[in-house]
Amino acid sequence: MSILSKLILMGIILIVLVLIALLMAKQYRKVGPNEVLIISGGRKRTVIEPDGTKKKIGYRYRLGGGTFVMPFLETVDILPMAVITLNIKTPEVLTHGGVPLMAEATAQVKIDSSDNSIRLAAEQFLGLGKEGIRDVSMTILEGKMREVIGAMTVEEIFTGRHKFSAKVSEVTQSDFSRMGLGMISFALKDISDTQGYLDALGKPQISAAKRDATIAESETEKEAVIKSSEAKKEGEVARLAAEALIAKAQWENEAKKAESQVAVNQRKAQADFAYELERFRLSQEIKKEEAKVNIIEKEESIKIEELEIARREKELDSSVIKPAEARKYQIKAEAEAEEYRLQAEAKGKAEAMKLEGLAEAETVKQRGLAEADTMMKKAQAWERYNQAAVLDKYFDILPELAKAVSEPLSKVDKIVLIGGDKGLGTSKITSQVAEILAQMPEVVKTLTGVDLKKYLKEKLNPEEKEGEE
């Protein structure tokens, strides 16, 4: 068998066990202490009746608590054991004397808790509930009350309510016991009639009671008057005697008050005199103490003034003198520092000017030496220059010279030419430029002594030069 098959089998078994447990738990039924579980079905049981006979029944019961009920075999019903209150009111019932009478009563009934009573009640009331028990009990009690009313006179019922209740309980017990019921209590609440018999029955007693009450009231008033007079007489005598005693006591009291007043006045005078003496003495002592206090206050005031003067001197010293001295020292130090700074600055400037003059002199000297050396070298170079070099320089500057001559014409925005006799006006401009350039050899010859025309002629026509030689 594979693991999966085993797991499936175990799951099925577990589910079956859970279902069985749930079914078992559901089949365990419980009731309260005022209820009885009646479990029908299953095997039959033998019970013994109160007369000794045996009887087989097909049910069992449980008073309060719980029990397990076999599924599919047993069924469960609940029988109430609570107390049921009954309020009974009979219609008009003829008494033993033929007087119609109505009665109201209250009773408490419940199923008896003995085994036989529970079995009887289960056979009689199972499935009816409390209402069924109430209806049956009400019917039985109402009938038994009519029975007892018909066997008694109005006077017996009126004067013996306890006896009436006992008879009803007695005649009802046998019927209740055959159904498993028990009556806990019964009480006659009220009786009434529509003919006025009860009122007439009570009138003689009421009249006699009123008569006895009037007589008793008169006797009581007479005795009250007698006793009041005697009490008044005794009270008057007592009052007079008391007044005499009061007057005597007042006289004695006045005398004692006068004596005590004299003694009080004497003591008061002595006390006043002693008070004045003591007040004067205390006044003198107070004045002495005040003088001492004034002296001490003045001494303390002088000390305070001295301390205040010292404090002010210290405050003046700390707030004026010390800051002034500090300021004086600061000013002196600043002046010395300024003097030293100026001296150092002047000395530094002098040294700087001296060094600057020396440097400048050295610079001038070096510049002069350099210029002299340059001029010397230039002179030497000019000495070595030949005409070819000079002409080379001349040719180098000719384009610049031509540019300089023609540059003014390039800056002219507009030229107005007026034609002459010969040729155009524009040819005069070019001829003038050419004339200026043609004058350059003469200018060079005049300035440098070099004859450019001759030099060029010799360079360009060497054969003519050789023929002349």
Most confident of 87-101, 242-256, 310-324, 424-438: 87-101
Most confident of 23-37, 241-255, 408-422: 241-255
334-351: average pLDDT: 78
Residue 354 and residue 352: Cα distance in Å, rounded?
Answer: 5
Residue 444 and residue 452: Cα distance in Å, rounded?
Answer: 8
Local confidence band at 328 (pLDDT 50, 70, 90 cut-offs) = confident
Decide if pLDDT at 73 tops 70.
Answer: yes
As beta bridge partners, residue 103 has 191
The fraction of the chain above a pLDDT of 90, given in percent, is 8
- Token code pair at residue 114: 């003995």
pLDDT of residue 79: 85
**Residue pair 150/99 in contact by the 8 Å Cβ criterion:** no
436-451: average pLDDT: 68
Decide if pLDDT at 106 tops 90.
Answer: yes
Query: Angle at which helices 387-410 and 426-438 pack, to 10 degrees?
Result: 150
**Of the candidate ranges 151-160, 249-258, 440-449, the one whose mean pLDDT is the lowest:** 440-449
Residue 201 and residue 95: Cα distance in Å, rounded?
Answer: 15
225-234: per-residue pLDDT in tens?
788 778 788 8
Distances (CA, A) of 424 to 428, 432, 435: 7, 13, 17
pLDDT of residue 226: 81
407-416: average pLDDT: 64
Query: Residue type at 282?
Result: L
Decide if pLDDT at 414 tops 90.
Answer: no
The fraction of the chain above a pLDDT of 70, given in percent, is 78
340-360: average pLDDT: 78
Residue spans per domain, the chain = 26-78, 82-195, 399-468
Decide if pLDDT at 188 tops 70.
Answer: yes
pLDDT of residue 98: 84
- Token code pair at residue 2: 């594979």
Decide if pLDDT at 105 tops 90.
Answer: yes
130-152: per-residue pLDDT in tens?
899 999 999 999 999 999 998 98
pLDDT of residue 415: 61
pLDDT of residue 410: 65
Residue 445 and residue 443: Cα distance in Å, rounded?
Answer: 5
Per-chain mean pLDDT for the chain: 78
Decide if pLDDT at 405 tops 70.
Answer: no
pLDDT of residue 86: 92
pLDDT of residue 85: 92
Decide if pLDDT at 425 tops 70.
Answer: no
Determine the distance from the C-alpha atom of residue 4 to the mean position of all C-alpha atoms in its chain, rounded to a whole number. 60
Decide if pLDDT at 61 tops 70.
Answer: yes
181-205: average pLDDT: 81
Q: What is the CA radius of gyration of the chain?
A: 82
User: What does DSSP assign to residue 320?
Assistant: I
**Of the candidate ranges 4-8, 173-177, 294-298, the one whose mean pLDDT is the lowest:** 4-8
| Closest to 75 in 3D by CA, of 126, 38, 112 | 38
Q: 237 versus 384: which is more confidently predicted?
A: 237
The topology (CATH level 3) of 82-195 is Tetrahydropterin Synthase; Chain A (3.30.479)
